[in-house]
Structure 1
Amino acid sequence: MLKQIVACCVLALTATAPLAAQPECGTLGLAFYELGALYYQKPDGSWAGIDKDVVDELAKRTGCQFQTTLESRVRIWTQLSTGKLDMSVSGIPTPEREKFARFIPYFTTRNYVLQLNSLPASAGTPDGFLAIPDYKVAVVKSFKHGTDYDAWLDKLRAQGRVFDAPDFRSVVRLLKIGRVQAVLALPTSWVPVLEQEGMTAEVRVLDWSPKDSVVHGLILSRERVPPATADRLAKAIQDMRDDGTLLAIFKRHVGAEMAAALLNY
């Protein structure tokens, strides 16, 4: 009888050994920031968005627990660079940022031009818009939009035709009240905001820089997140891409037409 009990214990320990050998993920401090379809508050006060769905799915697949907060992007980058935050979402890598953070890509996008449908067809090109002196454009202050768009904006700025707004909702409202005739935006920014402002049917989307690509990824502190945890999260993101989960999340928030383009990284 004693031999049988010992044998059972040995089998139980053997069966659980691989699981025990796996590195613990633990709890990670993660900061969201509010922006368009990435992370937004619904009318009932709850939060939704691409980034929230990605993090919820990562929690299911990795066993990591995420202690989340809502912060400004400025505070997020400051906390990451000073070793006071574990991770954040939808960040754009640069050489400076890669000194203190690892990036795990999960979507790419680029800026488009949104114009009022009432504008003449001649305004539908960069040169055509520039040729109409009364037309103005609004952008979010300090944003970079890519080489082509920034050069176009420089020409407009020289003529006093650019409004710099503090956030994207303010940009859309300038368009809505007619202070500007166009805005620059990412698909992940405009979809929910246009819907909330009742403007979805009032604008046309123009792609003036189809070769641009801005890759966004999870941002992991090099100081605070161990390589084994980073590898676990990277594998989960790859699995979500392979099994269609990422595509389903994108479709939920930006529609089928834009969703597929977000995976072209």
Structure 2
Amino acid sequence: MQGICVQRHPTCKKLNKNLIPRYNNFRWTMTVGLLISILLSNTPVWAERPACGVNFRTSVNESPPLYFPPEAGGTPRGITIDIIEELKKRTGCEFTVTSMNRSRTAHSLQYSSIDLALLDSRNITYDKYAKFILLRPSARKFLVNLKNPPANPPSVQELMNNPKYKFILQPGSRIFFKPDEVTKLEKEKRLITMPNLPQCFKKLKDTENAVFASQGTLITYYLGDHPEFTLVDDKENVFESGAYYVPRKGIQAGIALVEKALAEIAKDGTLNKIVKKYQRVPK
């Protein structure tokens, strides 16, 4: 671009009159271009992805904090709902969501009436009918109703070996026990199955030396409401938590997008933020 004249000669004044507007326009164009470049460089990669063209029939675990049913005039919320919202943004896929217990989810996977099950622990029942996508490891934890809690909580081994401890289960919750543990507890008649999670916690509260086992996120959530229970951490047995999908024609490209997005959600800290949002502080 031709330089601007700085001398006070009439010719310079005439030249400047023509050049200054052009110079200002050039400077404005460069500024706008720079701002656009900055904005584009800060746009997440997933924002540029095209729509995947799949509407996944999706089951979510019906237990809080994974899922809270909608209140009057509201919408459902919970850890799985927030994860699905992230998946929508990052993949362009659609998700038709139904909350289910594990027994119904297993049946739906078996007969391919759902495409995707989110978010649950890996287990041999689901493995028969669907493919697993790992989201993150999840530690096993126990809540124990002890009348006089000791200074040090009982160990997992003590819970399993002492016949005074009875284990409260909801349908499908045997996934949180190893096969040899289930065999032992069944033989000793120490398993008590309740129809749903609220009934499990009622039974736990009413029964001394009762034990409830689950993945760490759910146990931590309920401990916030029930600090009277004793927490026992299992430092040895870790479960894989993630999603299951039923392979079928027409969804594989969408599944690839979902699998990649789940890995990103776990890696970039989004998953931790979502989980933390629904955790309760013990009263």
- Is the pair's TM-score, using the shorter chain for normalization, greater than 0.5? yes
CA distance in 2, matches of 1:92, 1:233: 18
CA distance in 2, matches of 1:132, 1:212: 19
For 1:105-127, what per-residue CA distance to the aligned partner results, in whole angstroms no more than 9, with x for missing partners? 21321322212354342771356
Match of 1:77 among 86, 91, 106: 106
Secondary structure of the equivalent of 1:183? Answer: strand
CA distance in 2, matches of 1:40, 1:81: 25
CA distance in 2, matches of 1:28, 1:109: 25
> Are 1:140 and 2:165 counterparts?
no
Label 1:163 to 1:100 Cα distance change in 2 as closer, same or farther (>3 A): closer
Secondary structure of the equivalent of 2:97? Answer: strand
> Are 1:176 and 2:202 counterparts?
no
Deviation at 1:48, TM superposition (A): 2.0
Partner of 2:44: none
Label 1:213 to 1:134 Cα distance change in 2 as closer, same or farther (>3 A): closer
Partner of 2:31: none
> Are 1:60 and 2:94 counterparts?
no
For 1:58-95, what per-residue CA distance to the aligned partner results, in whole angstroms no more than 9, with x for missing partners? 01111111122233433333333333322221244467
Label 1:194 to 1:93 Cα distance change in 2 as closer, same or farther (>3 A): closer
> Are 1:41 and 2:72 counterparts?
no
Label 1:242 to 1:255 Cα distance change in 2 as closer, same or farther (>3 A): farther
Higher gyration radius (CA): 2
Partner of 2:279: 254
Match of 1:204 among 230, 234, 240: 230
Aligned pairs, how many?
Answer: 232
> Are 1:28 and 2:53 counterparts?
no
Deviation at 1:191, TM superposition (A): 4.1
On the 8 A contact 2:153/2:231 being kept in 1, the answer is no
Partner of 1:166: 195
For structure 1, which runs of at least 5 residues remain unmatched after alignment?
1-18, 257-265
Deviation at 1:51, TM superposition (A): 1.0
Partner of 2:155: 125
TM-score of the two chains, using structure 2 as the length reference: 0.67
On the 8 A contact 1:137/1:163 being kept in 2, the answer is yes
Secondary structure of the equivalent of 1:182? Answer: strand
Label 1:131 to 1:41 Cα distance change in 2 as closer, same or farther (>3 A): same
For structure 2, which runs of at least 5 residues remain unmatched after alignment?
1-46
CA distance in 2, matches of 1:153, 1:20: 48
Label 1:111 to 1:36 Cα distance change in 2 as closer, same or farther (>3 A): farther
Identical-residue share of aligned pairs (%)? 21
CA distance in 1, matches of 2:192, 2:63: 19
AA aligned opposite 1:144:
I
**C-alpha RMSD of matched pairs (Å):** 3.5
Partner of 1:238: 263
TM-score of the two chains, using structure 1 as the length reference: 0.71
Runs of 4+ in 1 over 6 A off after TM superposition: 42-45
Secondary structure of the equivalent of 1:174? Answer: helix
Label 1:115 to 1:184 Cα distance change in 2 as closer, same or farther (>3 A): same
